[in-house]
């Protein structure tokens, strides 16, 4: 009785030694990555736009807040050290 490897090798006209080789790591990575990406539920255009606006707004707000905190600490250190 023939093994599964021999059947595959014979059916695809590939020598048995080639069909028995383990799958290349890069090929396996790409295959598994594609399989995972098929499972992803992608956001709609409207959701992506709304989320982009939210992230941009929060980033600007945090930047302004940290800039203000930095300015306050700068003034405090200038008072303590004696202004440069």
Please give the residue that has the higher pLDDT: either 78 or 84: 78
pLDDT tens-place string over residues 12-54? 565 555 555 667 888 999 999 999 999 999 999 999 999 999 9
Q: What is the rounded distance in angstroms from the CA atom of residue 81 to the CA atom of residue 22?
A: 69
Under a CB-based contact definition with an 8 Å cutoff, are residues 22 and 11 in contact?
no
**3-state secondary structure (DSSP) of residue 2:** coil
Cβ neighbours of residue 38 under 8 Å, at least 6 residues apart? none
> Is this model's pTM higher than 0.75 or not?
no
What lies within 8 Å, CB to CB, of 70 at 6+ separation is none
């Amino acid at each position: 009785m023939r093994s599964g490897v021999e059947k595959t090798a014979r059916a695809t006209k590939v020598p048995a030694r080639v069909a028995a080789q383990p799958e290349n790591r890069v090929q396996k990575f790409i295959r598994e990555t594609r399989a995972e990406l098929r499972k992803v539920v992608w956001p709609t255009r409207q959701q992506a736009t709304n989320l982009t606006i939210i992230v941009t707004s929060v980033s600007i707000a945090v930047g302004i807040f940290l800039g203000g905190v930095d300015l306050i600490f700068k003034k405090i250190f200038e008072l303590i050290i004696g202004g440069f």
